[in-house]
């Protein structure tokens, strides 16, 4: 990835954090406590005028490295 792309992503991340401080605080708290094998991560999306869609995963040992990488990106 080139430096210009990295800077663009970092600027977008900073703006997202500014606009959504509660979500940012929530994810920091979750990652600070730690996600372990067997944890369940759930996400839902509700578009205006539509039914909610939701899905979840049960964290497996092989997922932990990806979650660590995501945590580092968020810092």
52-64 pLDDT, tens per residue?
999 999 999 999 9
Q: What is the pLDDT of residue 22?
A: 96
**Alpha carbon distances (Å) from 28 to 35, 47, 53:** 11, 25, 24
pTM value is: 0.72
Q: What is the pLDDT of residue 73?
A: 78
Domain boundaries, the chain: 3-74
Q: Say what percent of the chain tops pLDDT 70.
A: 100
Report d(CA 4, CA 26) in Å as an integer: 29
Report d(CA 1, CA 67) in Å as an integer: 20
DSSP secondary structure code for residue 50 in this structure: S
């Amino acid at each position: 990835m080139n430096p210009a792309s990295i800077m663009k992503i970092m600027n977008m991340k900073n703006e997202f954090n500014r606009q959504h401080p509660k979500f940012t605080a929530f994810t920091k708290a979750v990652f600070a406590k730690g996600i372990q094998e067997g944890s369940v991560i759930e996400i839902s999306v509700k578009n205006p005028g539509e039914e909610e869609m939701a899905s979840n995963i049960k964290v497996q040992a092989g997922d932990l490295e990806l979650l660590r990488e995501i945590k580092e990106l968020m810092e």
